[in-house]
Amino acid sequence: MAENKETKSRRDKAREWLNGYLTSVFAGLSPQDLRDMFRGKPPGRPNPRYKPHTTSFWLHMKPRWYPKSVTRFSYTFALGWASAFLAVVLGISGILLMLPYTPSVDKAYFDILNIMSNVPFGKLMRDLHRLGAELMVAIVMVHMLRVYFTGSYKQPRSFNWTVGVILLLITWLFSYSGYLLPWDQLAYWAVTIGTSMADSVPVIGKNIQLLLLGAPAVGQPALLRFYALHVIILPLALIIFFGIHYYKVVRQKISPPPSVAAGLREDKERVPFLPDVLVREALWVILGLLFMLISVVTFFEAPLEMHADPNLTPLHSTAPWYFLWIQGLIKLPDIFGGLVEGKFIYGVVLPGLVFALLFALPYIDRNPSRLPQDRKLAIAIGIVAIILFGVLTWMGTPAYKAQASPQEEIALEFVPTDREGAIHELSWDELAEGTYDTETFVSGAMMYPKGLETFMVELREAIEKELPGGVGTLTITVWQKDLKRIDLDLRWTEGGEEHTFQQHTYIHRNMISD
């Protein structure tokens, strides 16, 4: 009997030790407290679930509780939370991408190719990183819109709004600096166009461009500079400004909905962080990861064009989508009579003005009320700004004032030399050797492989639309083992004269996934 007592006591001692250890790991919450918490038992008195917010590093950053009205998803759409989530995803995928990447103009492109075919999960990391970057820019901008429309930027949160605009700038710079790193045609020309606005600044323009690029044109110094920005300078700036931003959010509390802030309705109910909000955020983490992974496995792919070539400007070069509005602006007519370059006003002054307005918003808008009915002008301006952004963005695309000649556009769409086009949608067998022309091609008769038929019909329609009376001839030749040559000949009459245009490309069997 004496032995039983000792054995029991040893097991008890072990259990006691484990409980004590786990309690210290979980910042004062014992395993029993945790069990009770997740099983929905109300906390005892004193409430042990608030202690960790004082004793734990991670939890000291989170509020102990939220007012119920603030936790409604359709109030904030968790956009700020989503930005933080994406920042973590981008940071981790970014670090993993740093390992096989060299910021050298001779190596960068091939390191990307290597990442996609020779580094396990390299393509996954790259696609996640790119998807995260695109989502981040979009979500951060929508977050700004939400804060604008709920009037949350008004006192006492005006300082935090300003910090937020700085974070927006940091986000855009992150995305833009990362854009250059693959050193492909897309990267090279987007950055060349973007930075070309710098030297239009009077007096100091040339020096600003030298500071940005480290050289008169985009090259190795620019790549290194953008890399340094992307991996250390901007991350440090992000940590500082995000720290300030989130600190203010927790200290000043998330702004209550306007009706609550105006006293029109009461909100006394509290939702504790532990366990309610913690579990919900855990759910969002898993759902966010699932969404990103499913996207990357199904439809989303980080693009990679051909190696950067300073001598070859590709057709339809565009800035990244969040800068298309600036590209649209600089297409506006130059009405400044040579006093200053149109590029300077539209590309530097106006965007600068937009930023200045954003910064100064809480100090321009003196209306203390956050209720929509008291802010009709502000809301109208917001809606107009969104529409303007949309229109300018469309103007930045090649669809507006940046179309090449009709024959070049047709060739670009159907048989491009430097990107994927209609011809790349055919399977290897559908690329049947032979000559096909739009005049005599017979469709709808199962005479030709389906993909080829679709191609020729679409080509005929495009020629009818853009080069009326014209004829297009497609010739497919077996050029080498597993290599086919595709020739496109366009013939049309204009002003009584016969014109021709030719373009050709090659397709290798392994380029087409069956």
Partner 1 sequence: MNVARNLIVTTIAAILLMALLIAIFLGESARMHEAALAQKGESIARGAMLYDSYCAGCHGKRGEGLAGIYPPLNVENLWEGREDIAFYGSLHDFIALNISAGHPNQNMPSWADDYGGPLRDDQVEDLVQFVMNWQGPQPPGVRGEVVATPTPAPEATAEAPTGPVEPGDPERGGELFANTCASCHNTDAKGGALGPSLVRPDIAAQDDDFFRETIINGRPGTAMPPWGGTLSAQDIEDIIAWLRERQAEE
Q: Which residues bind partner 1 (CB under 8 A)?
A: 38-40, 71, 106, 109-110, 113, 116-118, 120-121, 123-124, 271, 275-277, 279-280, 282-283, 286-287, 289-290, 293-294, 297, 306-307, 417, 429-430, 432-435, 442, 444-449, 452, 477-483, 485, 504-511, 513
Give the H or E element holding residue 222.
helix 220-228
Question: Considering beta carbons, is residue 129 or 375 the nearer one to partner 1?
Answer: 129
Q: Are strands 483-494 and 497-508 parallel, antiparallel or unpaired?
A: antiparallel
Report the distance separating Cα 152 and Cα 162, nearest Å: 12
Least distance to partner 1 from the beta carbon of 507, Å?
6
DSSP per residue over 141-174, as a string? HHHHHHHHHTTTTSTTSHHHHHHHHHHHHHHHHH
**What distances in angstroms separate CA 122 from CA 88, 92, 479, one per listed residue?**
18, 13, 33
Rounded least distance, CB 123 to partner 1, Å: 7
Q: Are 499 and 512 in contact (CB under 8 A)?
A: no
Residue nearer to partner 1 on the CB measure, 97 or 140 = 97
Nearer to partner 1, 229 or 452 (CB): 452
Nearer to partner 1, 239 or 282 (CB): 282
Nearest to 140 by CA among 212, 245, 211, 275: 245
Q: How far is the CB of 344 from partner 1 (least distance, A)?
A: 35
Which residue number, 429 or 461, has a Cβ lying nearer to partner 1?
Answer: 429
Smallest gap from residue 63 Cβ to partner 1 (A): 15
Q: How far is the CB of 345 from partner 1 (least distance, A)?
A: 38
Q: Which is nearer to partner 1, 66 or 179 (CB)?
A: 66
Give the nearest distance from C-beta 46 to partner 1 in angstroms. Answer: 21
The two tokens of residue 356 are 């200045």
Cα 284 to Cα 277: distance, rounded to the nearest angstrom: 10
Min separation Cβ 322 and partner 1, Å: 29
Q: In terms of CB distance, is 4 or 117 closer to partner 1?
A: 117
Closest to partner 1 by CB, 8 vs 508, is 508
Q: Are 197 and 343 in contact (CB under 8 A)?
A: yes
Min dist CB 105 to partner 1, Å, is 10
Return the exposure string of 418-435: e unless at least 16 CB atoms fall within 10 Å of the residue's CB, then b.
ebebbbbebeeebbeeee
Which residues 6+ apart lie within 8 Å of 59 measured at CB? 27, 52, 53, 273, 274
Smallest distance, Å, CB 145 to partner 1? 26
- Measure the CA–CA gap between 65 and 276, rounded to whole angstroms: 9
Q: Considering the complex, what minimum distance in angstroms separates the CB of residue 297 from partner 1?
A: 7
Q: Which ranges of 420-499 does DSSP label H, i.e. alpha helix?
A: 450-466
Smallest distance from the beta carbon of 256 to partner 1, in angstroms?
17
Residues 6+ apart with CB under 8 A from 478: 433, 484
Of 134 and 281, which has the nearer Cβ to partner 1? 281
Q: Which is nearer to partner 1, 16 or 425 (CB)?
A: 425
Give whichever of 31 and 342 is closer to partner 1, judged by the CB atom. Answer: 31
Q: Cα(487)–Cα(433) distance, rounded to whole angstroms?
A: 11
- 146: Cα within 13 Å, side-chain hemisphere: 19
Cβ atoms of 163 and 292 within 8 Å: the answer is no
CA dist., res. 98 & res. 111, Å (int): 10
* Cis geometry, peptide bond prior to residue 46 (ω within 30 degrees of 0): yes
Would strands 483-494 and 270-272 be described as parallel, antiparallel, or unpaired?
A: unpaired
* DSSP-assigned states of every residue in 405-417: -HHHHHHHHHS-S
Residue 411 CB, nearest distance to partner 1 (Å)? 14
Nearer to partner 1, 140 or 426 (CB): 426
